[in-house]
Every structure is written in C-alpha cells, then in structure tokens.
Amino acid sequence: MKILIVGNGGRENAIARSIFESDSFKKSNSELFCTVGNPGLDKICKPVNIKPTEIQELLEFAINEKIDFTVVGPEIPLSLGIADEFRKRGLKIFGPDKCAAEIESSKIFAKNLMQKYRIPTAKFREFSSGNIKEACEYLLCSKYPVVIKADGLAAGKGVIIANNFSEAKEVLTDLTENKIFGDSGLNFIIEEFLTGFELSLFVITDGTDYVALPFSQDHKKIGEGDTGKNTGGMGAYAPADIMINSDLHEKIMLEIIEPTLHGMKKEGRKYKGCLYCGLMISEFEHGVLVPYVIEFNARFGDPETQAVLPLIKSDFLELLIASEEETIRNYKLETFDKYACCVILASGGYPDKYETNKVINGLDINERDVFVFHSGTKYSEDGTGILTNGGRVLSVVALDGTSMNNAINRCYYTAGKIHFDKMYLRKDIGFKYSEKKIK
Ligand code: AMP
Ligand code: GLY
C-alpha cells in the first residue's frame, strides 16, 4: 500500500508514526510519503516536494505514483477542497469534503448548525462589516468579557476576548477596517464568554457511525497557570477521562456528537474524517457538569494528536480507511491502559517574534514509549545537524502505564535532555489533571 500524508508538523509526525506502526501497514510491504518532509519524518516517509495547498500538484502526484490512500493533516487543504478533488478522480482520502470542512472554515456556519440542531454552545449573534452600527449597539448591552470570532480561518488567532466595550470596539476596527485577518474577519460573531475547563475530543467518523478517541486537554496559553497569549498549543495529555464522569460522557455523545453528525448529513454535508470537538465543561450547582461546544475543527488537533495517537492499540490505518470506506461500525477501538503527556519545545519569543536556525542537541533519544515529534525543524546546510525552523519546534511525548504523574515526569525528564539556544517550554503541562487528583 502507498500512503501519502499531507502536512508536515508535529501532528503529521504522530499520524505517520501511528500508520507506520499499524499491522495492516507492516503486513502489506507499504510505503509512506509526506509533503515537504522534515527531519523527523524523513526516517519513515519519502519526502514529496509539494506544498499542502498545491491541490492539483498533489492530485497529479497521487495519480502518477499510484497512491492508495491519502491522509490530510491541516485544515487549509480541506477548506480548499482537496478531498473533493481526490474523490472525483476515484482516489481514497481521509478528511471531509470542502462543504463539510466548513464546520471549521466558517464559524458562522458552525454556530448556525449548532443553533438549528440544538447543540449546546455559547449564545451568539452574527455581524459583518456592513452592520457595524448594530454590532456596537449589541456590544453596548453585552455582559463582559465577550468573545469576538472572525468567521473564516485565521491560523488559530481569530478568537479575541474583549474585557470591556472600548476593547471590543477596537477589535471590530481591527477586523473590518485594519483587516488584520484579511477577508476572514469581515464577517464575525460576538458570543457569550463561557467559564469552566476545556477538553478536546477527536471523533473518527464515516458520516453516520463514529469512534470517539480518548479525551485530551490542550494548554493553549504561553505561560504557566494558563496565562499570557494564546498559542497553537504548548502541551497536552491524554486520556483526560478523570475530568469527566459517565453522565457527562453520555451527554457529550448524545447531545453534541450525534446531533452534529446527523445535522451535517441532513444539510447535505455528510462529514467524513476526524471531527475535532473543542469543549468547555461548565460546572453548575451540585457539581452538575454541562458541556458546550467552543469550536469544531475539521482535522486532528495539534498537540493533542501527539498525546492521543500513541494510546491507540488497534490498527490506526484501518480506522482511517474505515472512515473513507464507510465501515466504521465494524471497527473496534482498543487503547493501551497507559497515560500520555506531550510537552512542546518552542523558540523563545513565540508566539511573537522568535529566532530560528539554532542547533538542536540531544535528539538521539531511543527509549520505549518516548517519542520526539518534529514541527519547526530542518537540516543544517551541510546535512549533519538539525536546526530550529519555527515557533513550535518539537513535541516530546512520554507514556507510562502506572500514572499520569509518571508520564508527566518522564516527559519532562526527556525534554531536559534536549537543548537549543532560547528554548522555551511550559513547566506545568497536566497541572489541571494533578489538581483534580488531589481534590
Ligand atoms: P478557538 O480558536 O475557537 O478554540 O478559541 C481559542 C480559545 O479561546 C479557546 O480554546 C478558549 O480558551 C477561548 N474561547 C473561545 N470561545 C470562548 C467562549 N465562548 N468562552 C470562553 N472562552 C472561549
Ligand atoms: N490544539 C488546538 C488545535 O489544534 O486547534
């Protein structure tokens, strides 16, 4: 079997490893290809020098190289319709069609879907650059903080929390006059600020049936204790099951996942692939936990994927293929009885300005259940060393069969062996898990 992975970050490294380790892959004398490979992927994937956004070139490559199955990592190729193009030509691919990927690429579409199918989410109103006056009137009567979200894709930066009216007005100016997110911010929503704790859930679906992977928790803020600027994610752990009880689990499946898949199908946008559900769990009186959808993404999350996928014991490649072939109902998910922690090693200064081309030392780690997935890395010019090449540089992942605390400690122990100039990492990944345990 020939498999092509589109994308080349930490998430795609983790996807590649899980495919590579699948029995169905090993059995069939298979080959893995990955777009614009990086030093982490090169050991198991043949690099393909095509960008994830060059859909026609990828299509040609897949046809010429007789690729059997393509797996799409990032959202942009999905929002550009890569899955539609591949399927039109009879090629098998993992990921939703363009109209289904709108669940991520248009926040307004996603919110209206949730409203129509009564899926719990923050109360909201939609506005555009054409009705700023109404938006301001709405903001004058709003309870603060409010959340303002650009409708379109904005590289994970399109959500802004405003603490008062004047901050909120500035955000509207940035979106519609300064166009900080280009056309993505000309339409926007204003929504109620929810409180609670966040969880991430990946659901692998063929549009009708689904398999829910272990819950995980991301750490989006740059600073310890969830402070400072939002980032792409500074670390994650899984399973986050200790954070939920069976009642909440059932609510999430019956009141969120199932109506979403049903709604998408009814709207003529049958959803195939990985549905990423970003949840806020609010705690009400008497300890009642209520889940709300913060966002949907049309893909796996980064860095949650790096923590979740190593926990999957059953054949991962078969799961992805079952999504495309619409046979999910026959798939039995098995997971390891282990705990996983992922810590991101970032360039100092990220998510603002940072330097690159720093030599990375200590990468020769060869331990069972420890993985170092590459994101922003590249080979040095003479090919002998590995250099930093981005904000988020590496994902260090460790598993442990006894406790989450041991997984966390093992992860930090490994991270301590790696070094590059101005390396930054959050030192408290998993802190909410530990707090929960102490209670
Ligand atoms: P998103 O890009 O939609 O995941 O939003 C980024 C982050 O903003 C989320 O992870 C939340 O921490 C926060 N956020 C988004 N929407 C809300 C909301 N309605 N209430 C509170 N926090 C929110
Ligand atoms: N970890 C957040 C995301 O992938 O969107």
User: Which of 295, 297, 299 has the most ligand 1 atoms within 8 A of CB, as the residue to mutate?
Assistant: 295
Domains of the chain: 2-80 (3.40.50.20), 124-192 (3.30.1490.20), 197-330 (3.30.470.20), 339-434 (3.90.600.10)
What residues have CB less than 8 Å from 11, skipping those under 6 apart? Answer: 73, 74, 300, 301, 302, 303, 305, 306
Which range is least confidently modeled, 73-77, 129-133, 296-300, 357-361? 129-133
Write down the H helix ranges in 7-131: 10-20, 23-27, 55-64, 75-79, 82-88, 98-105, 107-116
CA pair distance 432, 428, nearest whole angstrom: 9
Contact 115, 122 (CB under 8 A): no
Measured from the Cα of 11, ligand 2's closest atom is 4
Measured from the Cα of 233, ligand 2's closest atom is 1
pTM of the model: 0.96
Summary mean pLDDT of the chain:
95
Report the share of the chain in percent with pLDDT over 90.
90
CA pair distance 356, 338, nearest whole angstrom: 35
Distance (Å) from CA 291 to ligand 1 centroid: 14
pLDDT band at 269 (very low <50, low <70, confident <90, very high): very high
Contact 224, 432 (CB under 8 A): no
> Does the C-beta of 295 come closer than 6 Å to ligand 1?
yes
Q: Does pLDDT of 439 surpass 50? A: no
Q: Does pLDDT of 387 surpass 50? A: yes
Query: What one-letter code names the amino acid at 277?
Result: C
Q: Following CA atoms 304, 306, 308, 310 in sequence, which dihedral angle do they give, to the nearest 10 degrees?
A: 180
| pLDDT of res. 433 | 82
> Does the C-beta of 75 come closer than 6 Å to ligand 2?
no
Ligand showing the shortest atom-to-Cα distance for residue 202: 2
> Does the C-beta of 315 come closer than 6 Å to ligand 2?
no
Distance (Å) from CA 4 to ligand 1 centroid: 32
| pLDDT of res. 328 | 98
Q: Does pLDDT of 285 surpass 80? A: no
Q: Does pLDDT of 401 surpass 60? A: yes
Protein residue closest via CA to atom 3 of ligand 2: 301
Mean pLDDT, range 43-52, rounded to an integer: 94
Which carries the bigger pLDDT value, residue 37 or residue 333? 333
pLDDT tens figures, 48-97: 999 999 999 999 999 999 999 999 999 999 999 999 999 999 999 999 99
Ligand showing the shortest atom-to-Cα distance for residue 235: 2
Distance (Å) from CA 231 to ligand 2 centroid: 9
Q: Is the peptide bond before 239 cis (omega within 30 degrees of 0)?
A: yes
